[in-house]
Amino acid sequence: MVRIAVIDYDLCKPSKCHQECIAFCPVNLTGGKAIEMSPERRKPVIYEETCIGCGICVKKCPFKAISIVNLPDELERMLVHRYGVNGFKLYGVPVPRQGRILGIIGKNGTGKSTALRILAGELRPNLGIVEGAPPDWDEIIKRFRGTEMQNYFKMLADGKIRAAHKIQYVDLVPRRVKGRLRDLLERADERGLWRDLARDLNLERLLDRDVRQLSGGELQRFLVAAVLSKDANLYLFDEPSSYLDIRERIRVAKAIRSYVPRDSYTVVVEHDIAMLDYLSDHVAIMYGEPGVYGIASKPYGVRAGINYFLKGYLPAENMRIRSEPIRYTISFTRQASAEAKRYIGWSRLLVRLNGFRLEAEPGDLHEGEVLGVVGPNGIGKTTFVRTLAGELEPAEGSVEKPEGQLKVSYKPQYINPEVLGEEKTVEQLLREANPSTLSPGSWLNVEIVRRLGIDRLLDRKLRELSGGELQKVAVAAALAREADIYLLDEPSAYLDVEERLTVAKAIRRLTEARSAAAIVVEHDIAVQDYIASKILVFTGTPGRHGKASRPLPLHEGMNLFLKELGITIRKDPETGRPRINKEGSFLDRMQKRLGKYYYL
């Protein structure tokens, strides 16, 4: 076995602890040296050769900064990169194949972005050599002789890879680029395609806008267009689905499939499994321990690979990556509303708001119910919930609800740390939301804070968090607040598959426990399928008028919605996950003929 000791230097704060990690180390106490303060870094270093892996420092560190794991020796031959002494280790990279789209799925923190940077030539792998001269390309190529990586690294070394990279956090773009969309697209274009891309990605009516005026979904489509217009032979898309509604996800998937040049390499990292499935020709799974080490699996066929990932076992590697399988079943929450108490009822509603008009069919909401919302952005979802809560008066119709204004706890689609208070720490935000959030043993603490790994972030300021971390914290704070209605707009953006399901479960249980109701806007079909007991379908013209259906049973609601989109979905028999049928395929045609757009 090989021991790896990883210290998260963002978490380690020697001035705020008693340096227990060093004081209690048994090797140090008996005259050896397994851990000591590095004079340059002023933080501890662990010597993996002398450390006996007892784990005492792991337990003693008040900030949970240390991780120690043992891995099989053979794995070291696959070591591609290490981020410095006691840093994260990446084993293998998912190797793309020419003319095929490689999908990557896996937990956050297992090295997906690192792997993309290596594939793009933005980061030269160091083979784990973190002191002295880094290895040159010859050594790197030699190390991976006989593997698919050898060829790929050879091309990188010879400068034969030209990469175009769609970054993960689209929200950062307006800070770095300025100008009108038309000019930016024209300037980026190397293939003479920008007008076609603008048309196919539905950007035409935005061309005269400044990037700063774009919503997250619009930024996403703009970036995909700009990347596809590059004359490259490697196209990388890091989470292309964030902030897009379902129609736009399919649009983007189709654009990627049809615009990447035939002989290029394409890699997509994506946590929306229906989209990944629809988009990829084969998939690789990244697994390991987040922040400590990551391993890239061999490439699998799309259906099998996603299923192995969900089941938590990789046969080619003979590796269990999760103790429990992830299953999508539609059995358990769905009857809840029949017996539950009616909570809010409404007649046919008409709401007018500064030129926007919303119509809603009559309906009601029961205690403990999770209402899933599907439809585009700007279609009146927030307006609708504010009307239910009594914050807005309908022009026609009425809402029947408990006395007074209902309290709404809201997680908006875009999380702006400035609005939440950039200088606040995560702990402050969570305590403000609810003083018991962090009490040991409290439900919120166990089911949300710890499950999502937020306990490791408590000391961090909001402005220091990554997009994914911020999302988790904002969701946790929204759920921690005592409220009558929880409105969560795209809670899964930037979260991985497991985190999405943790959030979904937490929403469901919390809504029941507090006899509240939750309204969840979610464009990941698998998550919506997992969480919603009923579906509200919004249609209309964004920004002008919206129409809300009555709350429909999941099946009926999704059917109506998919019919609008002209998309059919089947269910994978092994895992229960929804799969989008390829347009014009046998199943697609049959389901359309039978009017069964959602599952056969």
User: In the beta sheet, which residues pair with residue 538?
Assistant: 548
Instruction: Return d(Cα 395, Cα 350) in angstroms, integer.
Output: 6
Q: Which of 1, 2, 10, 54 binds ligand SF4 (CB under 6 A)?
A: 54
Q: Which of residues 4-43 bind ligand SF4 (CB under 6 A)?
A: 12-14, 17, 19-21, 25-27, 34-35
Instruction: Return d(Cα 307, Cα 105) in angstroms, integer.
Output: 11
Nearer to ligand SF4, 30 or 318 (CB): 30
Verify binding: residue 56, ligand SF4, rule CB under 6 A: yes
Q: Which of 33, 38, 42, 55 binds ligand SF4 (CB under 6 A)?
A: 55
Nearer to ligand SF4, 28 or 202 (CB): 28
Instruction: Return d(Cα 163, Cα 306) in angstroms, integer.
Output: 26
User: Which structure tokens are listed for 158?
Assistant: 């010879």
Find the shortest distance in angstroms from Cβ 72 to ligand SF4. 19
User: Which structure tokens are listed for 4?
Assistant: 């790896």
Q: Which of residues 66-105 bind ligand SF4 (CB under 6 A)?
A: 66, 68
Find the shortest distance in angstroms from Cβ 130 to ligand SF4. 18
Q: With both helix axes pointing from N to C terminus, report the angle between 426-433 and 467-480 in degrees, rounded to the nearest 10.
A: 20
Q: Which of 2, 10, 36, 53 binds ligand SF4 (CB under 6 A)?
A: 53
Find the shortest distance in angstroms from Cβ 69 to ligand SF4. 11
Q: What are phi and psi of 124, to 5 degrees?
A: -85, 125
Nearer to ligand SF4, 53 or 467 (CB): 53
Verify binding: residue 480, ligand SF4, rule CB under 6 A: no
Residue 61 binds what, of ligand ADP, ligand SF4, none (CB under 5 to 8 Å, by partner type)? ligand SF4
Instruction: Return d(Cα 402, Cα 398) in angstroms, integer.
Output: 13
Nearer to ligand SF4, 100 or 461 (CB): 461
Verify binding: residue 63, ligand SF4, rule CB under 6 A: yes
Residue 350 binds what, of ligand SF4, ligand ADP, none (CB under 5 to 8 Å, by partner type)? none
Verify binding: residue 157, ligand SF4, rule CB under 6 A: no
Nearer to ligand SF4, 14 or 174 (CB): 14
Give residues in contact with ligand ADP (CB under 6 A): 83, 87-88, 108-114, 290-291, 353-354, 356, 377-383, 543
Phi/psi-derived region of residue 170, left when phi > 0, alpha when psi is between -120 and 50, beta in every other case: alpha
Find the shortest distance in angstroms from Cβ 165 to ligand SF4. 34
Q: With both helix axes pointing from N to C terminus, report the angle between 246-259 and 554-565 in degrees, rounded to the nearest 10.
A: 40
Instruction: Return d(Cα 144, Cα 79) in angstroms, integer.
Output: 10
Assess contact for 35 and 22: CB atoms under 8 A: yes
Residue 111 binds what, of ligand ADP, ligand SF4, none (CB under 5 to 8 Å, by partner type)? ligand ADP
Nearer to ligand ADP, 44 or 368 (CB): 44
Nearer to ligand ADP, 261 or 390 (CB): 390
Find the shortest distance in angstroms from Cβ 460 to ligand SF4. 14
Kindly report the number of other CB atoms within 10 A of residue 103's CB atom. Answer: 28
Q: Which candidate, 221, 220, 187, 227, places its Cα nearest to that of 204? A: 221
Residue whose token pair is 């305590």: 431
Q: What are phi and psi of 117, to 5 degrees?
A: -65, -35
Nearer to ligand SF4, 44 or 363 (CB): 44
Residue 46 binds what, of ligand ADP, ligand SF4, none (CB under 5 to 8 Å, by partner type)? ligand SF4
Q: Which candidate, 374, 379, 397, 377, places its Cα nearest to that of 387? A: 397
User: Which structure tokens are listed for 593?
Assistant: 């003929």
Q: Looking at 50-58, 83-91, 499-507, 525-533, which segment touches ligand SF4 (CB under 6 A)?
A: 50-58
Determine the Cα angle at 210 with ends 205 and 214, to 5°.
Answer: 70
Q: How many residues bind ligand SF4 (CB under 6 A)?
A: 26
- Three-class HEC string of 512-537: HHCCCEEEEECCCHHHHHHHCCEEEE
Give the interface with ligand SF4 as residue ranges (CB under 6 A): 12-14, 17, 19-21, 25-27, 34-35, 44, 46, 51-57, 61, 63, 65-66, 68
